[in-house]
Structure 1
Amino acid sequence: MGMLRIATFAAVAIALLPSDREQQQHLYERAGSTAQWVVTFCDRNSAACAKGSELWSQFVAKAEFGAKLAYDMMREREASGLATSSLNLDQSKARVAPALLERDSGTLTPLDKEPDWRGKHLNKNGV
């Protein structure tokens, strides 16, 4: 689906390009001057760039803090989850252990290995 979307946008963009040499040259010049205008924005608006730089540094600091907070919370939850699950296994070891001992290898039980559905079982008469 992504390739179809890209191909459609490319086809539309190519169809909208001018075919006349003079119009192509005019479009080329406008694209170049627009790129130059974007690149030199901070030269023309130093106050806006300074404020933007300050806001960007604040945003990055907040993002780092949020990531650290989320990481610490996941580690705490994982540590408490492991402690809780190990306590539950110790308390119910008598119930869990026989089921684990019956398995020869792997994690599948005999019930897991049975198929869910096999169709109708026909008797000797075909019914």
Structure 2
Amino acid sequence: MFFLIRMAFWIGLILLILPIGLTSDGGRQVGAFEAFGAVQAAISDARGFCQRQPEACAVGGEMLSHITDKAQAGARWVYETIGAQKGEHSPALPEPAQQNAAQPAPHGLTPQDLSPAWSGEPAAPAAPAPGMPLPPRRPA
């Protein structure tokens, strides 16, 4: 991702230095310094936007704050999800060993639910319930 940002920066710098609008009919050529002056004028105009439109600026600030809060919540969720996948438990959740087996955790999982289902050893074949006939064996 950082590579793409660096590449965009360098390509933008090259495009800024190259002349814009080369025409064969003698049209106006825009140089790098003229383009830089136009960018400065646009930035100074954008700075005065909040003075001209205070309501729009206030709504934009609230939206930016809301988007920032959502981004932080999303990043926190991703961090906790990745930590849970690596085997680390979230600090907000109680450890399974500290919980009572009869009382479910606040998130609704019991310690048996939180323990891994497979320990790496082959499981013993389940015995049939008493009184249930077994199906006939197929030849190998």
TM-score (norm 1): 0.45
TM-score (norm 2): 0.41
> Which structure would you say has the larger RCO, counting Cα contacts within 8 Å and 6 or more residues apart?
2
